[in-house]
Amino acid sequence: MIPFADTHVHLLAGLDDGPPTSDVALAMCRMLVTEGARHATALAHQNHSYPANTADHLRSAAAALAATLSEKKIPLSVYPTGEIMLSANTLAEWRSGTLLSVGDHKQWLLVEMPHSGLINVLPLVEALKPEGVGCIIAHAERYPELLDDLALTQKWIEAGCLIQVTARALAEPWEPGFELALKRWAKGGFIHLMGSDGHGIDRRRPVLAGGFGRLAKWVGRSHAEQIAGVWGAAVLQGKSVNVPPPRPAGRNWFTRLFGS
Ligand SMILES: [Fe+2]
């Protein structure tokens, strides 16, 4: 079994709606190790609700967490990361150095949609491409306009996006149509990364194993390990990651009738 990489977990105490204290953050890290993770983002929100969360602030908080993990011999490597809410200013903020890339490697930005809903990420992706920076769509399953539109998802992937899905959504999809759509994404190669989107130990716990189990059932263990471990570790460590292009299923008589 390869170790999991949690590409989306809030571990920076007191900086956002994640763990309120260092003790909770450490408990989350221990939970992640129990889940089978050895790599995780030390992540906090970067949006207008948290103006103090500059790249430098997140870097120093992540370094302090890494030092504590080492001191306490908790075998989890953490990588400073911002969860960036897209806005009209994202490109300017990135160029000014306010935003933090995944692992601070200047390879990937972890982006979420504004509260108003899905917006077209392609202009930002095209603007970042010459700098060698791509976008990871955080908790992409939250956006039905994307989840239910394979052509649009494919277009974003072809433009250089990676698709991240929340482990708990895979493990416990909340309605059958949602489960079918996730399964279609998984089997078609539209999912590249898994994250817990963990925020604490009482609610939104950092769980991964259930999501991996569901993925393995749908796409086989080897492909599930790529998603839950190999590609995530590469992204967090600043290594290159080459994902295969999606393979949307053909619309045969069964899929036309039953939509799966
Ligand atoms: Fe998040």
| CATH number of the domain within which 31 lies | 3.20.20.140
List residues, by chain if needed, whose CB lies under 5 Å from ion ligand 1.
83, 197
Distance 83 CA to ligand 1 centre (A): 6
- Which parts of 90-245 fold into alpha helices (H)? 90-96, 122-128, 144-147, 150-158, 167-171, 176-187, 209-219, 221-225, 231-237
Distance 198 CA to ligand 1 centre (A): 7
Distance 20 CA to ligand 1 centre (A): 15
Q: What percent of the chain has pLDDT over 70?
A: 95
102-113 pLDDT, tens digit each: 999 999 999 999
Contact yes or no for 193/136 (Cβ under 8 A)? yes
Average pLDDT over residues 46-67: 98
Count structural domains, the chain: 1
CA dihedral 11, 15, 17, 23 (to 10 degrees): 50
Distance 259 CA to ligand 1 centre (A): 30
Instruction: Provide the whole-model pTM.
Output: 0.95
Average pLDDT over residues 22-49: 98
The conformation of residue 257, written as its DSSP 8-state character, comes to H
- Structural domain harbouring 153: 4-258
